[in-house]
């Protein structure tokens, strides 16, 4: 968006604001689409990677606040060109923006990057996503940390105001999952990736490791499907894992058949529920690129990328299951393995996009166990 267009939007909507369900309000300036939305207000502490974050299906139904003070300075690559490919190129994790709205302290009108094709404001406007700048994101983050994730509403004068609606009260997985079976790669190790809201980097990394990936909907019927795959990966995704009942039932069936399973993020929670463990809603979740997770076998601590608001109750793991990773900050469960069966899962993202490298070996170890 040009500077003149941005100023025009600010003049047209001078009283835009973020209103929280506790009655508090923060005034800001609109630089995205001129529409009002509601959602769950959450924050991420990542310093880079806003194209990846905004296109991550795990943020479905959420208004995302960036704690890093300046957003937009390196623009946005050409999403259309990326979407024309079978698996969109980095830095996109899906073909569209998934967040309901964006909050930041300072929006950078000027952008510079050799891949940039447009501004963040223009991209948001084109996809109908509102955004506010000039918000005190430190005060907002402190409020969320003290009171927990809050429902909120971006209010832009001139249109209807939505009610406060909790996105976790609906089946978000069904909203973001593929509706058709998709195939990527040929002739490699055959895997099925159950799409509960997958990040495309999971497909990219599995292909790079010699796998042939078949992406299936979250409610794919494994009962009648041919057993022409070596293993199943349960992807990340948004919302309460208990809504993904069809995926939970599939995981139970696959374990009865002794099919190897790797769960990632929401997939970790789904596998835990299938095994008989329980999950809970976290106070404000983990959304950052520097969550420290300690591996149970050797005590090594890894910096991980995470985006989730629910977690597995570590003390609820049934017999035969053992904790694999534990969060060094709050002690929450970050992974589990079965002592005898070929099933394992992690709460964080080994395909980290954005985020640090260092846990890709989890994919390597899983695939090596199949060969």
CATH label of the domain that carries residue 10: 3.50.30.20
Tokens 């089946």 belong to 171
Domain boundary among 167, 199, 232: 167
Question: Could you tell me if 212 and 163 lie in one domain?
Answer: no
Distance CA 241, CA 310 (A): 8
> Which residues have a Cβ under 8 Å from the Cβ of 341 and sit 6 or more positions away?
255, 258, 320
Domain count, the chain: 2
Share of the chain above pLDDT 90, in %: 90
At 88 the pLDDT is: 63
| Domain co-membership, 323 together with 224 | yes
Question: Residue 265's closest CA among 222, 298, 312?
Answer: 312
- The residue among 312, 293, 305, 294 whose CA lies nearest residue 58 is 305
CATH code, domain with 339: 3.40.50.880
163 and 178 together in one domain: no
- DSSP at 120: H
pLDDT digits (tens, 9 = 90+) for 57-101: 999 999 999 999 999 999 999 877 665 566 767 789 999 999 999
The pTM score is 0.94
Q: Per-residue pLDDT for 329 more than 70?
A: yes
> Do the Cβ atoms of 116 and 18 come closer than 8 Å?
no
Q: What is the pLDDT of residue 300?
A: 97
Q: Which of 224, 129, 220 is nearest to 177 (CA)?
A: 220
Average pLDDT over residues 249-269: 98
DSSP, residue by residue, 139-197: HHHHHHHHH-SEEEEEE-TTSPPPPP--GGGS-HHHHHS-SS-EEE-SSSEEEEEEESS
pLDDT at 81: 64
Asked if 353 and 217 sit in the same domain, the reply is yes
114 shares a domain with 12:
yes
Out of 13, 289, 308, 349, pick the active-site residue.
Answer: 349
Neighbours of 364 (CB within 10 A): 12
Q: Which of 2-6, 64-68, 198-202, 351-355 has the lowest mean pLDDT?
A: 2-6
Could you tell me the pLDDT band of residue 371, with boundaries at 50, 70 and 90? Answer: confident
What span, in angstroms and rounded, lies between the C-alpha atoms of 46 and 42?
Answer: 13
Residues 243 and 180: their CA atoms lie apart, in Å, by 20
Residue-level pLDDT at 86? 66
pLDDT of residue 226: 95
Residue from 265, 268, 308, 338 carrying the catalytic annotation: 265
How confident is the model at residue 8, as a pLDDT?
38
Average pLDDT (277-293) is 97
Give the chain's length: 371
* Cα 293 from Cα 299, distance rounded (Å): 9
Provide the pLDDT for residue 87: 73
Q: Respond yes or no: is residue 349 known to be catalytic.
A: yes
* 301 a catalytic residue: no
Tokens encoding 35: 């529409």
- Pair (96, 196) in one structural domain: no
- The rounded distance, in Å, linking the Cα atoms of 299 and 172 is 35
- Asked if 38 and 162 touch (Cβ cutoff 8 Å), the reply is yes
Q: Give pLDDT tens digits for 164-192.
A: 999 999 999 999 999 999 999 999 999 99
Check: CB of residue 150 under 8 Å from CB of residue 144: yes
Provide the percentage of residues in the chain whose pLDDT is more than 70: 94
Write 224-229 long-range contacts (CB < 8 A, 24+): 227/257, 227/259, 228/190, 229/190, 229/191, 229/192, 229/259
Mean pLDDT for the chain overall: 93
Q: Please list, in sequence order, all residues whose beta carbon lies within 8 angstroms of the beta carbon of residue 178, skipping any fewer than 6 positions away.
A: 195, 215, 216, 217
Same-domain pairing of 225 and 190: yes
Same domain assignment for residues 163 and 176: no
Structure tokens at 75: 């623009």
40 is catalytic: no
Res 218 pLDDT > 90: yes
- Residue 66: which of 6, 145, 1, 136 has the closest Cα? 136
Return the pLDDT at 90: 76
CA distance 310 to 331: 14
Residue 124: helix, strand or coil by DSSP?
Answer: helix
Q: Domain check: are 16 and 152 in the same one?
A: yes
Choose the final residue of a domain: 167, 194, 229: 167
Say whether both 159 and 180 belong to one domain. no
Q: Across-strand partners of 337?
A: 322, 344
Q: Strand 261-264 and strand 211-217: pairing? A: unpaired
Shared domain check, 176 and 144 = no
pLDDT the model gives residue 3: 41
DSSP conformation class of 59: G
Q: Quick one: pLDDT band at residue 7, thresholds 50, 70, 90?
A: very low
pLDDT band at 9 (very low <50, low <70, confident <90, very high): very low
What contacts 260, CB < 8 A, 6 or more positions away? 230, 231, 232, 342, 343, 366, 369, 370
Instruction: Single out the residue in 145, 167, 189 at which a domain terminates.
Output: 167
Mean pLDDT of 6-24: 70
The per-residue pLDDT for range 20-62, each reduced to its tens digit, is 999 999 999 999 999 999 999 999 999 999 999 999 999 999 9
Output the CA–CA distances (angstroms, integers) from residue 273 to 98, 189, 247, in the order listed.
Answer: 26, 27, 10
**Domain range for residue 347?**
172-370
Do 176 and 161 share a domain, yes or no?
no
């Amino acid at each position: 968006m040009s500077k003149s267009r941005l100023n025009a939007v600010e003049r047209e909507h001078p009283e835009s604001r973020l209103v929280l369900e506790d009655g508090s309000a923060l005034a800001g300036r609109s630089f995205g689409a001129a529409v009002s939305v509601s959602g769950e207000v959450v924050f991420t502490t990542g310093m880079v990677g806003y194209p990846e974050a905004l296109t991550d299906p795990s943020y479905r139904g959420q208004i995302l606040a960036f704690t890093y003070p300046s957003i937009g300075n390196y623009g946005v690559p050409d999403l259309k060109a990326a979407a024309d490919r079978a698996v969109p190129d980095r830095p996109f994790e899906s073909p569209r923006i998934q967040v309901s709205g964006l909050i930041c302290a300072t929006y950078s009108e000027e952008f510079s990057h050799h891949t940039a094709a447009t501004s963040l404001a223009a991209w948001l406007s084109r996809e109908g996503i509102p955004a506010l700048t000039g918000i005190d994101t430190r005060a907002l983050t402190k409020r969320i940390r003290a009171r927990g994730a809050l429902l909120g509403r971006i209010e832009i004068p001139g249109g209807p105001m939505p009610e406060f609606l909790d996105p976790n009260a609906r089946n978000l997985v069904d909203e973001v999952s593929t509706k058709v079976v998709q195939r990527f790669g040929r002739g490699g190790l055959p895997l099925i990736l159950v799409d509960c809201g997958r990040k495309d980097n999971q497909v990219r990394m599995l292909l790079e490791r010699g796998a042939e990936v078949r992406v299936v909907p979250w409610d794919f019927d494994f009962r009648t499907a041919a057993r022409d795959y070596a293993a199943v990966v349960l992807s990340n995704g948004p919302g309460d894992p208990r809504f993904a009942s069809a995926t939970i039932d599939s995981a139970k069936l696959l374990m009865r058949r002794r099919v190897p399973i790797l769960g990632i993020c929401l997939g970790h929670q789904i596998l835990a529920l299938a095994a008989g463990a329980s999950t809970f809603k976290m106070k404000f979740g983990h959304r950052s690129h520097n969550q420290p997770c300690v591996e149970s076998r050797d005590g090594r601590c890894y910096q991980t990328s995470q985006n989730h608001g629910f977690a597995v109750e570590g003390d609820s793991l049934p017999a035969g299951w053992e904790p694999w990773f534990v969060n060094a900050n709050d002690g929450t469960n970050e992974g589990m393995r079965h002592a005898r069966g070929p099933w394992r899962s992690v709460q964080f993202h080994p395909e980290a996009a954005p985020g640090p490298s260092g846990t890709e070996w989890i994919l390597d170890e899983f695939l090596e166990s199949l060969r």
